[in-house]
Amino acid sequence: MAKKAEFLVIDGCVQDGRVVVVKGEPYSPPHKEIEEALLAEGRIAPLKDPRAQELLRQLSNVANEDENSGGE
């Protein structure tokens, strides 16, 4: 079973092997060193971080707008 993501990509994207995780998607770094490097770069943030929460709200609003504008 995959471990639960503890972080959110908040800037750009992260490539993990063949998988590319883009801004706004959950991400679990495979190693502590990678986690620390990505945090230092500002590429990822913990899910409870205010920057991650704001991005999730923005994405939710965009999804709601797309849902409401379809089929008219």
pLDDT in tens, 24-62: 999 999 999 999 999 999 999 999 999 999 999 999 887
C-beta of residue 13 within 8 angstroms of C-beta of residue 50: no
Average pLDDT, integer, range 20-25: 96
Cβ neighbours of 20 (radius 10 Å): 11
pTM greater than the 0.85 cutoff? no
Q: Which residues are within 8 A (CB) of 5 and not within 5 positions of it... i.e. 6 or more apart?
A: 26, 27, 28, 47
Per-residue model confidence (pLDDT) at position 23? 96
Average pLDDT, integer, range 2-20: 90
Per-residue model confidence (pLDDT) at position 71? 54
Q: How far apart are CA 72 and CA 66, in angstroms?
A: 11
